[in-house]
Structure 1
């Protein structure tokens, strides 16, 4: 089993801040974000890249943080749910999720919101079917899918306006 002596230096740039950390090479980005940096908004669901609860943005692209190693993201720009809202408050997608009841238990919501932001930015929010397809990597065990689609559609309309 690897020990602390096997740790390697990694620079994670998370939500606009530089973090110089030491991690074992096998530590996932998700575990580094949650356990080392203390940012617990990104959730650990399946821990196999299947549910999307751990979705973050790396260099503007969405990824499952449980399916990549922290050392692989050395020096890259990472945005978590905590980094979405600006100084003036929450992000428009966050507000749309609240307005359209796009959550129930809330466990999947951070990953859903991170995917929704990317979905809109990627130009994949042109129709409900397109939204469903491009959000399909994020599972909701409460089945709030109709409300999630409504929220993404509303946020996309706001983004286009």
Structure 2
């Protein structure tokens, strides 16, 4: 079966899982604790007549740093949890295969295939695998061990793509 998912559609499924508001607030607490404390202080005033005044005062005292720099660049790039979490949120075919890019598979089940544009991935007789193809490296791992990828990457003698 040939199943090709447009990356745009795939990201519509994945993106809400990547950076939900609670996740962003958690990362702010981790990397910008003073901003996190300020947000907790102003939260009770949301929707009240005092909101504008309290927010203005808090904003004046807040650390001058963008969320991009203060949080996003410090956070793990793939912290959806792991590749299994990505597999869980993506749409799957009847064999529970979530494919981004061009994939042709026979007797392939419960797997995630992340193919590069213009380079199809062909699978035969595999079950429960993650295949992530990037220009820098190719990852093939057991889906149930996907949470170990981050630790494995730390031990590599080279640095693969940041989206791993």
**Shorter-normalised TM-score: what interval?**
under 0.3
With the length of structure 2 as denominator, give the TM-score of the two structures: 0.19
Larger radius of gyration: 2
With the length of structure 1 as denominator, give the TM-score of the two structures: 0.19
Q: Which structure has the highest helix share of the two?
A: 2
